[in-house]
């Protein structure tokens, strides 16, 4: 059993996986998320600070939900975050489509040479077999 203190309220709780917050704070956070989601759906033109003030949520928490792709915005929304790869402005996630493609290609190239270096199986001829001497 893994017992930890909640990072938000300090209560002791049984920790399993995920963020280190107690179930009560997790429920409160989920309720705040639903409130923010509803506010964003009703107010398409709101920016992050306006949403944070209206819903009484930290802007950092809203950014985290955007990075996790939990919050989705309309195309005309002013809310954008910088791509962690190139810095271009994106609506959700951590990386733009260009950086995602580059990373995917990098992973493919990293795996491909390992496959190419595998030794080829040599064909066995009759001469390579084991022989027995007969007395």
- pLDDT given at position 54: 93
In the numeric block, which tokens belong to residue 29?
Answer: 């956070």
- pLDDT given at position 120: 58
In the numeric block, which tokens belong to residue 59?
Answer: 């802007």
- pLDDT given at position 121: 60
Mean pLDDT of successive 10-residue segments in the chain (135 residues)?
Answer: 89 90 93 94 88 93 92 84 91 91 87 60 66 74
Give the DSSP H/E element, type plus range, for residue 110: helix 97-116
Q: What's this model's pTM, rounded to 2 decimal places?
A: 0.70
- pLDDT given at position 118: 56
- pLDDT given at position 19: 87
- pLDDT given at position 78: 85
- Which of 50, 17, 25 is CA-nearest to residue 36? 50
Contact between 39 and 51 under an 8 Å Cβ cutoff? The reply is yes
CA 47 to CA 111: how far, in whole Å? Answer: 42
Burial class for 109, CB neighbours closer than 10 Å (0-12, 13-18, 19+):
exposed
């Amino acid at each position: 059993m893994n017992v930890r203190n909640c990072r938000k309220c300090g209560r002791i709780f049984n920790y399993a996986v995920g963020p280190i917050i107690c179930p009560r704070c997790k429920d409160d956070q989920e309720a705040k998320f639903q409130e923010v989601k509803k506010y964003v759906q009703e107010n398409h033109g709101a920016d992050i600070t306006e949403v944070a003030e209206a819903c009484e949520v930290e802007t950092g928490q809203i950014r985290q939900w955007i990075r996790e792709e939990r919050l989705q915005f309309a195309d005309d929304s002013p809310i954008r975050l910088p791509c962690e790869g190139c810095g271009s402005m994106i609506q959700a996630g951590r990386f733009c489509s260009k950086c995602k493609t580059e990373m995917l290609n990098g992973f493919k190239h990293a795996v491909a040479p390992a496959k190419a270096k595998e030794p080829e199986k040599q064909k066995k001829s009759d001469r390579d077999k084991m022989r027995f001497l007969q007395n």
